[in-house]
A and B are shown apart, each in its own frame.
Chain A
Amino acid sequence: MARAFAGCVVALLVLTGSASAQWITIRLPRTPRTADGKPNMTAPAPRTPDGKPDMSGIWTRVEATKKDNETDNFNLLDWMPAGAQIRMRPEAAAVYQHRRDVLFGGGRPSEQCLPHSIPDAMLPPVNFKIVQNPDLTLILYEEFNHFRQVHTDGRMLPVDPQPAWLGYSIGKWDRNVFVVETVGFNDRSWLDDTGHPHSEAMKTTERFTRIDFGHMDMQVTIDDPQTYLEPFTATVHFTLQPDTELLEGICDNEKDSDHIVGK
């Protein structure tokens, strides 16, 4: 089945060079290379001076095999094993069905350039950059210039914080896995573009594993007993975007929300 894929779109027009090309395509000195000079995507994962895997880099998720063919929007189920279910409480199921089947995914916060949730911010094919430092890891989302802070200075998760779109995150290491726990979400974001809801009680646990230079996996577990009957886990694969930089993605010309009509 053919799919249009933005990253594979071929620009047939003869384009003139531009200064931006020197920013979008830049030969970074830390990129390992094959004999022909291309980025070596299967080179060993880089490590920090203290020996931990270094997650730093620009990443984009690998498209998942679509499992929910009743909607054209990304669904967390796409990143779960075949046959897996996300079992919702009745009131949450009603919200979800309305978003999925009546609104067709319309009405989600990102229409108005508000944040996607965790993990939804990493499910569309958009770039994000991880900047790993000893006490703080930053996750910078190109879309809308949003960011997260993952504190690794030993602090505990906050108790009853002011609800936030992307919550409050701390990170720790489980051998070679970077484990990010997040609480303190508001209940306005969607877990995916199809419309899985969540409450302020949600806790997410992301387990990032950098497999090699060019590949990273993330298992995310959603634990929200006010919304779901049991925790569930999705696995997202990412590919490094070598020799490039993030671009500014400030949303300064939003004009779609007035045209969203749903079904």
Chain B
Amino acid sequence: MAVIRVGIVLIALGLVGESHALAHHSFSAEYDSKKPITLMGSVTKVEWQNPHVRFYADVKDQTGAVANWEFELASGTSLVRQGWTRTSLKPADVIKVEGYLARDGSRLVNAVSVSMTDGRKLFAGSSFEGAPKQE
């Protein structure tokens, strides 16, 4: 699978509101609301399951090194109620993700929004109600 260009860019996003963790686990115990991140990559795998839908993408950093990142979304039941299906995001889709980094330093991101490179936004979802919102 082709790996696309990328830059890992930590950007200063406007954070508004508080973050409420959803039922399954605490947002702030796992993710750092002070570390927003934007990544671009190519989807390698989608896990359409509960308690969270997850997908993985190959991401190339500014040095050209490629790494596979994990992205957490809302629950499968929640996304289905928002109109998503298990094929809304597919391997080889090229995406841009805005989200928050895991506290433990792993290549794990709580995805708040996922967009196609042509600008179409796939979802503005998050695995958390009230995860810090980007303006």
What is the interface of chain A, defined by CB distance below 8 A to chain B? Answer: 1-7, 9-13, 15-16, 18, 20, 24, 66, 69, 71-74, 103-108, 110-111, 113, 116, 124-126, 142-144, 193, 244, 247-257, 259-262
Contacts and interface: CB of A to CB of B under 8 A. Distances in A.
Report whether over half of chain B's contact residues are helix, strand or loop; otherwise say mixed. Answer: loop
A108 B27 CA distance: 12
Contacts of A71: 28
B51 A124 contact: no
B21 interface: yes
A251 B124 contact: no
Nearest to A24: B81
Contacts of B23: 110, 116, 124, 126, 143, 193
18 contacts: A1-B16, A4-B130, A4-B133, A6-B22, A6-B128, A13-B121, A13-B122, A66-B18, A111-B25, A124-B23, A124-B129, A144-B51, A247-B77, A248-B77, A255-B70, A256-B24, A260-B30, A261-B103
Contact of A9 (B49, B82, B135): B82
Given A105-B21, A106-B30, 19 more contacts: A2-B16, A6-B74, A6-B82, A9-B125, A11-B124, A12-B121, A13-B120, A18-B85, A66-B18, A72-B28, A105-B29, A108-B26, A113-B51, A143-B24, A144-B50, A249-B75, A256-B25, A259-B106, A261-B104
A73 B20 contact: yes
B34 to A, nearest CB: 12
